[in-house]
């Protein structure tokens, strides 16, 4: 039969994770601080653990997904003795350093630790749109990859437990950079009463889509440390200066472009 799985933390994400395991027929034990959040899962066949220690003791694979690492350690600390010999997969968002510290902590308890970064939202868990990054114990990842693959496309990045967080946060940073640029663009045309929705649908989204296609070329330049031509440097400098000057003249800060201009000035 399928491996028994325990899911600790039944927020929006934890519920989606537990549902994916249940739907695939895994015996699933659940625990949440606010016990009532387990009710819909129990209706579907999950077993409600009364304590975290009981939840940990129920399965060889423990998946934790709560708000932050302080919550993870607050919960697992009192159940530490039960962790020996089990695989702990922590899908809580945190820093690379927090992941490494947790891996050390788990190793001292005799547990196999895998850290994960969920590149998905709860409704896409269990679909091909969900990508989950993992790092840490290769052995635990291999042993439980069939179960973990139920959550989305699994990518194992290496045995340094911090790698999943590092990649997760790098990707989130790129996303926020794009959002910052989009807000700035909307603010710039907004000074002339152009509606955000119309601008976004007709111009911004198609433009950003076509610019995403340029990223592999940019990455290749970084990898090969290729020298950027003097002509292109000049063109980029003029464009950035024009963006900043026009934004300022229209009363928009354009602060987000300033660091890019500083980088370009130094290359």
- Binding residues vs ligand NDP (CB under 6 A): 9-14, 32-34, 37, 65-67, 71, 74-75, 92-93, 118, 121-122
Nearer of residues 110 and 123 to ligand NDP, judged by Cβ:
123
Closer by beta carbon to ligand NDP, 144 or else 152: 152
Q: Output the residue with the shortest Cβ distance to ligand NDP.
A: 11
Q: How far is the CB of 117 from ligand NDP (least distance, A)?
A: 7
Minimal distance, residue 199 CB to ligand NDP, in Å: 27
- Taking the least distance from each CB to ligand NDP, the nearer of 74 and 177 is 74
* Nearest CB to ligand NDP, comparing residues 35 and 260: 35
What is the nearest approach in angstroms of ligand NDP to the Cβ of residue 261?
A: 32
CB of 206 to ligand NDP, least distance (A): 26
Residue 17 CB, nearest approach to ligand NDP (Å): 9
Query: Smallest distance from the beta carbon of 129 to ligand NDP, in angstroms?
Result: 12
Q: Would you state the structure tokens that stand for residue 10, as one six-digit string?
A: 């039944």
Residue among 156 and 240 whose Cβ is closer to ligand NDP: 156
Helix (H), strand (E), coil (C) string for the chain: CCCCEEEECCCHHHHHHHHHHHHCCCCEEEECCCHHHHHHHHHCCCEECCCHHHHHHCCCEEEECCCCHHHHHHHHHHHHHHHCCCEEEECCCCCHHHHHHHHHHHHHCCCEEEEEEEECCHHHCCCCCCEEEEEECHHHHHHHHHHHCCCCEEEECCCCCCHHHHHHHHHHHHHHHHHHHHHHHHHHHHCCCCCHHHHHHHHHHHHHHHHHCCHHHHHHHHHHCCCCCHHHHHHHHHHHHHHHHHHHHHCCCCHHHHHHHHHHHCC
**Closest CB to ligand NDP among 56 and 240?**
56
């Amino acid at each position: 039969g399928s491996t028994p799985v325990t899911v600790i933390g039944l927020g929006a994400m934890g519920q989606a994770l537990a549902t994916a395991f249940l739907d695939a027929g895994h015996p699933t034990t659940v625990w949440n601080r606010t016990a009532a959040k387990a009710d819909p899962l129990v209706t579907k066949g999950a077993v409600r653990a009364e304590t975290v220690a009981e939840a940990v003791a129920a399965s060889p694979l423990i998946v934790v997904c709560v708000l932050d690492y302080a919550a993870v350690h607050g919960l697992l600390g009192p159940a530490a003795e039960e962790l020996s010999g089990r695989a702990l997969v922590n899908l809580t968002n945190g820093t690379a350093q927090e992941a490494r510290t947790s891996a050390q902590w788990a190793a001292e308890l005799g547990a196999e630790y895998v850290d994960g970064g969920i590149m998905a939202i709860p409704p896409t868990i269990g679909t091909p749109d969900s990508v989950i990054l993992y790092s840490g114990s290769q052995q635990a990842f291999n042993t439980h990859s069939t179960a973990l693959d139920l959550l989305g496309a699994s990518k194992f990045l290496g045995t340094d437990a911090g790698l999943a967080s590092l990649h997760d946060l790098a990707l989130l940073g790129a996303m926020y950079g794009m959002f910052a640029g989009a807000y700035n663009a909307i603010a710039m045309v907004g000074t002339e009463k152009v509606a955000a929705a119309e601008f976004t649908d007709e111009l911004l989204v198609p433009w950003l889509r076509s610019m995403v296609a340029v990223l592999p070329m940019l990455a290749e330049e970084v990898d090969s440390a290729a020298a950027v031509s003097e002509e292109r440097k000049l063109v980029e400098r003029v464009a950035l200066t024009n963006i900043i000057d026009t934004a300022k003249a229209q009363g928009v800060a354009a602060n987000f472009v300033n660091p890019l201009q500083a980088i370009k000035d130094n290359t």
